[in-house]
Amino acid sequence: MSLNTLIIGATSAIASSIAAVCAARGERLYLVARNQQKLAALAASLGSSVAGTAVGDLADTHKSQALVDAAAACLGTIDSVFIAHGVLGDQQATEQSFASAEETFVVNLLSVVSFVIPLANLLEAQRSGALVVIGSVAGDRGRPRNYSYGAAKGGLAIYLQGVRSRLYTTGVRVVTVRLGPVDTPMTVGHEKNLLFANQERVAKAIVATRTGGPADAYVPWFWSPIMLAVRNLPEALFQRIRVLSGR
């Protein structure tokens, strides 16, 4: 029997690759995204694997419940969920404008929580399923180059820790993916180095987290020891290392 999979933020580069991995495994997909044209193109490329789609403003937190309800009505049992939307934003703009900072927090934290609440309740009632949420290694420590985005992702990681412990006895797997930088359109303006990962390999690694490995997963794996060191550096030393504390 094929798995029923819901992907929120489906037209992002990484989510599209996740959808392709799941479709190749014969899963039935329900795709939610903001851009109708991109969503239609993605659904067409995946063919009969797509059971349904929905277009919605993912930052409109009051509509998240309805989007989840529509997915559940289409798929029936939801076996796995990937929440993959987010925005890096402009760090310096968030320092000058609360409206810009608010947008960063709404998209990367509050809108995700608005989906996690109904999905956690649904999976809890089923007593089965996997909820995989894509976060970021930026949430491990505040750095001048991206601390607004990082704070939102850090808050999301703490929130998911609570959800994971709450659902521990129900058979529901809750995964936080602490994603390192990936070479995608989202990072097009960033100078690339050897730590930037390939999006197809990252997608396969993210799909694998729903069935095994750490529930608080670093992808790619090598970010786990890197961020262990970064998290534990004394602040006085951290501020002297310009590769970490510089813009």
Q: What is the pLDDT of residue 146?
A: 95
Q: What is the pLDDT of residue 126?
A: 97
- Other Cβ atoms within 10 Å of 221 Cβ, number: 12
Strand, coil or helix: 29 = strand
Structure tokens at 203: 């997608």
Report the C-alpha gap between 17 and 77 in whole angstroms. Answer: 23
Q: What is the pLDDT of residue 182?
A: 86
Locate the DSSP E strands across 56-151: 80-83, 130-134
Q: What is the pLDDT of residue 198?
A: 87
Domain annotation for the chain: domains and CATH numbers: 4-245 (3.40.50.720)
Q: Is this structure's pTM higher than 0.75?
A: yes
> Taking Cα atoms as reference points, which of 34, 82, 29 lies closest to residue 58?
34
Bridge partners, residue 216, by sequence: 176
Q: Specify the amino acid at residue 126.
A: Q
Structure tokens at 50: 């797509």
Q: Residue 80 — φ and ψ, nearest 5°?
A: -150, 150
Report the C-alpha gap between 223 and 137 in whole angstroms. Answer: 8
Rg of the chain's alpha carbons, rounded to an integer? 18
Nearest 10 degrees: Cα torsion 192, 194, 200, 202? -110
Q: What is the pLDDT along the chain (247 residues), one digit of tens a residue?
A: 789 999 999 999 999 999 999 999 999 999 999 999 999 999 999 999 999 999 999 999 999 999 999 999 999 999 999 999 999 999 999 999 999 999 999 999 999 999 999 999 999 999 999 999 999 999 999 999 999 999 999 999 999 999 999 999 999 999 999 999 887 666 555 566 667 778 899 999 999 999 999 999 999 999 999 999 999 999 999 999 988 888 8
In contact, 66 and 55? CB cutoff 8 Å:
no
Q: What is the pLDDT of residue 191?
A: 61
In contact, 197 and 174? CB cutoff 8 Å:
no
In contact, 27 and 49? CB cutoff 8 Å:
yes
Q: What is the pLDDT of residue 190?
A: 58
Q: What is the pLDDT of residue 31?
A: 98
Report the C-alpha gap between 218 and 88 in whole angstroms. Answer: 18
Q: What is the pLDDT of residue 187?
A: 58
* H or E, element range at 61: none
